[in-house]
Amino acid sequence: MSSQDWLPLFRTIASEVRASVTPLAGSPAGREVVGAGAGGDQTIYLDQIAEDIVVRHLEEAYRRGLRFTLISEELGERDFGGRPLVLADPVDGSYNAKSGLPYYAVVLAATEGDQFRDVTFGYVQNLVTGDEFCAARGGGAFRNGRRLHPEPASFDGGSIPLAQLDAPTGVEPRDRASAILKRAEKIRQLGSAALNLCHTAAGGIALQVTPAPVRAFDLAAPLRILWEAGGVASDFDGRPIEEVSVRLDSRTTLLASVTPAIHRYALQLLGAAVA
């Protein structure tokens, strides 16, 4: 199965997840805690509904002859007769979904191995708007079927037009980012790691800033999209992240932009060695 062949299956899954999850967003039923996921977070009802849809479609694909191993945020790993790995975060941005904040996504990836660089196809759909981002390795990145050719963010060499911060509660990670945030004209903290990186790929977010380690699993699909759009990503200290594991127990910091000059500038601000 070539990487592009995943698109129809992932799109079908996303469309059904969207139809089922969006009406539950912000509702008491949707946010009821039903268990704990393999990724370590609480599983709420709308996560469970979404994962059930993902698993049902993959079971049907298996019966049609497809072979793979699923790693999903809630259930963990399940062998469907071989490789590649299929990574599924049925709802990324669950906190937004349960709060009724309209910014959350289904995230799917196919990967030959368990490092970021091995991801052959990444797919992210905003479950509120239906906005779809996808990329096959070596094939460019697409938003709603149109190739991403981002205008390089206007960068004057001294200020970052818009920085998107992912930093958990606690002063220290935000302190780590402060040298960058002081130079940002606008700051957002939107709440879906996958959508944030897709909008970094599309240029709306000039710089993604993740100073404390987050789960790498959530980043696998959108990093392929960012890289295929011509973007750059490193960890917060400027080290390459291509060999970071995509598995549920792996974590990484992140600094990403579609504009290499902004990424370099951010590393300079942090006083880190420029990669």
Q: Which residues bind Mg ion (CB under 5 A)?
A: 73, 89, 91, 94
CA 138 to CA 130: how far, in whole Å?
Answer: 25
Q: CB–CB of 124/9 below 8 Å?
A: no
Report which residue type is found at 66.
L
CB nearer to Mg ion: pick between 250 and 268: 250
CB nearer to Mg ion: pick between 89 and 132: 89
Tell me the closest approach of the beta carbon of residue 97 to Mg ion, in angstroms. 9
Tell me the closest approach of the beta carbon of residue 89 to Mg ion, in angstroms. 4
Tell me the closest approach of the beta carbon of residue 132 to Mg ion, in angstroms. 18
Q: CB–CB of 270/179 below 8 Å?
A: yes
Tell me the closest approach of the beta carbon of residue 240 to Mg ion, in angstroms. 26
CA 125 to CA 131: how far, in whole Å?
Answer: 6
CB nearer to Mg ion: pick between 73 and 132: 73
DSSP 207: E
How many CA within 13 A on the CB side of residue 197?
Answer: 34
CB nearer to Mg ion: pick between 197 and 229: 197
Report which residue type is found at 72.
S
CB nearer to Mg ion: pick between 91 and 225: 91
Tell me the closest approach of the beta carbon of residue 204 to Mg ion, in angstroms. 22
Q: CB–CB of 217/114 below 8 Å?
A: no
Both tokens of 130, joined, read 């239906």
